[in-house]
Structure 1
Amino acid sequence: MPNKIAHPLNLLLSPWLSLPNTISMPVAGMTLDSRKVKNNYLFVALQGGTVDGRLFIENAIQGGACVVLAETKDKQQHGMIESNNETPIIHFYDLTKVLSKLAYQFYFPDADCHKVIGVTGTNGKTTIATLLANCLTLLNQKSAQMGTIGNGLFGELVSSLNTTLDPLSVFACLNDYQWQGTKYTMMEVSSHGLVQERVSAVPFHSAIFTNLTRDHLDYHGTMQAYGDAKKKLFEDFPLKHRIINLDDKTGATWVDEYPDAITFSTHNKRLLSHRYLMTHRVRYLAQGLAFCFESSWGNGEIVAPFYGDFNVSNLAAVITQLLADEFTIHAVQQVMPLLSTVAGRMEQYHFEPQNSTFVVDYAHTPDALEKALLALKKHSHRGRLICVFGCGGDRDKGKRTEMAKVAEAFADKVVLVDDNPRTESAEQIMSDILVGFTQPDRVECIHDRKQAIEQLLATSQEDDLILVAGKGHEDYQIIGDKRIDYSDRVLLASLQLLHKKKTDL
């Protein structure tokens, strides 16, 4: 059942505060957003990095809040109580650090949470989480997922701005999924979410590490700090399975620290002291991939409708998790060909009669862009490989020249477009990227993504492969402080339909 029972406030806060008997009202819900307050809700007012929730206490009380927890950075103020229109405002020291535990206690007071699998790393989180949810659903294990492309039961996702939700939303969702009979939730766990304690009380059943490449240095500062943030998922939780990519340099060092680690690899020989899965004999098919694997659980052969070596690695992670949870090799082999493509991850849009194909992918780091381009090279040996990409504003500027070098090295033609300029000048971002090319005069610059795609379609040649990178599943662009509706996928699907109608005439 979803959490409908009101919790006495004094019991809810008892691990951290001893409240007077006069403050023991029932709490029917919790929220960080004053606009979502309902009668008898507890409003949590955090001192956020951009917005101070305490500024909205009055609004929350008017909306029906029965009590307010107001974060304080002064330890001496912890537990102090004041009143606003007879509504108690309780000052709580470093509330951010305990909010996850508070949410777990509220949403799961009497029942254990179902199995939550955390997936972390720079690239591959969404694909692995989605494919796991897909597999488990096909294996009659009702599953949900939380992450970049949305939150909800598999196939019923609701979009979200953040990869990892705030602590209250995390447990509200898990509670909702459990009420609906979910057996597993796949959760993408970002470095920000780990450092900011958004998931610190989640009882993770398993953790999967994909890889570590340059990203988010605007926030973490150094690769070491970025790696340490990801590592918290393996250090701070009582996991049943620690599943680590042995092919990644960082992952290989972590394996030595965990005697119970389970490794997956596309080329490394197994470590005898660990359970393992290793793929080999990869075949690149017109409609996907085929490969063999050997593992601690036995050997098998997989056929799946995906492209690129990085998807061999993603599938290896998925298979490893399934085998670790005692699903049979036969069952795994049966469901792999039935998997659906992942939104904005190497999605193909084919156009006749020139036989050109646009591929939409979320690649927005140098490593992801290189892997996407190399993957497309292996699946096609005829027409040109064209790379369309840009870089986001107000983010790590150091990767702009690195992405330029990758595009120039592996693509036959490069077109620069806008990504999410945010508050930066789109012209300056493009200039920063151009610095990374040895022959910038050969790079075409078209700020408008729609214009660039339409132009490439009109001028495409036989068997061209056009990678449209960076946006993937996203259905918006952020320009200045405005969020504008735009989707590479929607545009290409509409062009595909229009093109088909013209061809049929």
Structure 2
Amino acid sequence: MHLIELLKDWPCTIRGNWRDVTIESVTEHPKRIKKNCLFVARKGAKHDGIESIEEALEKGVAAIVIDRSVLESKFSEWNQRGVAVVTVPDCKQFLSYSSAQLSGVPADDLTIIAVTGTNGKTTVTHFIGQLLAQFGIKTAVLGTTGCYIDGEKMDEEIPPLTTPTAEYLHPLLRKCRDRGVTHVALEASSLGLEKERLAHCRVSIGVFLNIGTDHFDEHGGRGNYIAAKKKLCSLSEQLVVNCEDSECMEIVRDVELPTHLFGRNVAGGYMPSEELIGSLPPGEHNRLNAMAAASVVKLLGFPEREIFSSFRLLKLPEGRMQLVEHEGRRVFIDYAHTPDALSAALQAVASLEPKKLICVFGCGGDRDKEKRPIMGKIAENCCDTIVLTSDNPRSEHPLEIVQNILAGTENPSAIQVVMDRKRAIHQAIAASEPNDIVLIAGKGHETSQYIAGKEIMMSDFAEAMTALHQLETLQE
């Protein structure tokens, strides 16, 4: 696309050589710059794109986009090197717009369902995909665990973000469309919404699941977190909302959009039989997740009785209440890393009536310190044995995080602390007996730990399998 064609409908000023400039790609990442690329020098939380302009020039960038003032001498220097400099009101919005345009605006050809909420986004999007598959609808599911088409994971190199940045999202949507996909269920994170990653992605149905405790630090407070979630309303044509969550209901109270409600016992005005509900994966939260998915599929025009009959076929995605068992010992791996999610996961496994309930968990570093003592209290109230360990401590000292968790407990001396996560998992499983349940919470599908700036490969699921195998070997 010619640069001038890309810019004709966008407010901007252009300096330098813009005639006959052709753009083939757009990026905000210096490492992805190539010839005929448009570099958007966005200012991020940790890095200012303007600092990478020299690198972009050396790589032969076609044009540069900025949204703030720079010294006149800088303009002159860039222009002398034959590069156009485009000034726009907002780099985040422009990155989204240009990514969509260069990809052929694929969202316009797709029915997109965007799901937001502190907990449950991954499960609900996968449930939507599975239900639509029962009606022969080719569906893509996009989010924390990657991109899937009809349950098969696509071999695409995308960053490990809940909602991909626009420069990845729109090309990915184009590939989905080109492979015959007609519907996309994607996770809309608070950060993704705040950073305008979905700004030019037309959303047919926006889904609000819940508002809990997560990412407050990154947003600068709870109010900003909720405001980011509310952005989904302005992107959507209609809404599906959890009537049991008062904050979700408050978010949509003054929104002038068709709004459809769901709860644990009803989806879009329909109440399925307890027999159908009883076939769902364990936990009241999964009952609610299934109702959210059913409400979406019903709203898309599919018959309600057939939707609810398909409940028995629903399967949780990887790392969500994922079961490994051996001779009566059951180990569940779950992504629960917020107070509400941990409480829901513990209640779900408790409903299976274990002889003893053991929980292994920690909290992530560099964010949301206020949730740590709350999660400690929840675990203490629900479990027979707790093993506290590390969970992506990042730049924080892992032991300080554990101390924050212990601050919420009444009897910290009764809680085991094993800072090495692998050893914690093995120790908890070795201490279990037949008819016990071990819940390993916090990381789910993830296969690495981030500790002191290093990525260390490890999988809760793989370690649980190994620990159970070692038990079997010892018994032989």
Q: TM-score w.r.t. structure 2 length?
A: 0.91
Q: Which residue of 1 aligns with 2:139?
A: 143
Determine whether 1:386 maps to 2:382: no
- Equivalence map 1:313-324=2 (5 Å): 313-324=288-299
Deviates more, 1:397-406 or 1:91-100: 91-100
What is the total number of aligned residue pairs between the two structures? 470
Q: Take 1:468 and 1:23, find their aligned partners in 2: how far apart are those partners?
A: 58
SS in 1 for 2:163: coil
- 1:414-439 Cα deviation digits (max 9, x unpaired): 11011111111111111111111101
- Equivalence map 1:434-473=2 (5 Å): 434-473=406-445
Q: Which residue of 2 aligns with 1:23?
A: 19
- 1:81-120 Cα deviation digits (max 9, x unpaired): 9425323333434322332122222222598331111000
- The answer to whether the 8 A contact 1:278-1:316 is kept is no
Identify the structure with the greater helix proportion: 2
Q: CA deviation at 1:248?
A: 0.8
Q: Which residue of 1 aligns with 2:242?
A: 245
Deviates more, 1:131-140 or 1:396-405: 131-140
Q: 1:494 to 1:382 in 2, by over 3 A?
A: closer
Q: CA deviation at 1:405?
A: 0.7
Determine whether 1:61 maps to 2:57: yes
- Equivalence map 1:265-414=2 (5 Å): 265-267=263-265, 275-278=268-271, 281=274, 290-291=276-277, 303-304=279-280, 306-352=281-327, 355-378=328-351, 380-414=352-386
Amino acid at match of 1:262: H
- 1:336-376 Cα deviation digits (max 9, x unpaired): 33333311111111022xx1111111111111111111111
Q: Unpaired runs of 5+ in structure 2?
A: none
Q: Take 1:140 and 1:478, find their aligned partners in 2: how far apart are those partners?
A: 40
Q: CA deviation at 1:323?
A: 0.6
Q: Which residue of 2 aligns with 1:264?
A: 262
Amino acid at match of 2:196: E
SS in 2 for 1:243: strand
Q: CA deviation at 1:501?
A: 7.0
Q: 1:84 to 1:358 in 2, by over 3 A?
A: farther
Q: Unpaired runs of 5+ in structure 1?
A: 1-6, 284-289, 292-301
1:95 to 91, 94, 102: 91
Q: CA deviation at 1:144?
A: 1.5
Q: Take 1:212 and 1:110, find their aligned partners in 2: how far apart are those partners?
A: 30
Q: TM-score w.r.t. structure 1 length?
A: 0.86
Q: Which residue of 2 aligns with 1:4?
A: none
Q: Take 2:474 and 2:305, find their aligned partners in 1: how far apart are those partners?
A: 45
Q: 1:152 to 1:496 in 2, by over 3 A?
A: same
Amino acid at match of 1:321: V
Q: Take 1:110 and 1:456, find their aligned partners in 2: how far apart are those partners?
A: 48
Deviates more, 1:25-34 or 1:392-401: 25-34
- 1:14-49 Cα deviation digits (max 9, x unpaired): 122365885232211112222222332222221222
Q: 1:52 to 1:462 in 2, by over 3 A?
A: same
Q: 1:266 to 1:81 in 2, by over 3 A?
A: farther
- The answer to whether the 8 A contact 2:388-2:416 is kept is yes
Q: Take 1:208 and 1:474, find their aligned partners in 2: how far apart are those partners?
A: 25
Higher relative contact order (CA 8 A, sep 6+): 2
Q: CA deviation at 1:229?
A: 1.6
Q: CA deviation at 1:333?
A: 3.8
Q: Percent identity?
A: 31
Amino acid at match of 1:17: C
SS in 1 for 2:413: helix
Identify the structure with the greater strand proportion: 1
Q: Take 2:159 and 2:461, find their aligned partners in 1: how far apart are those partners?
A: 18
- The answer to whether the 8 A contact 1:124-1:314 is kept is yes
- The answer to whether the 8 A contact 1:119-1:129 is kept is yes
- 1:214-258 Cα deviation digits (max 9, x unpaired): 111212343333222211101x1241x300000111123345434
Q: Which residue of 1 aligns with 2:231?
A: 232
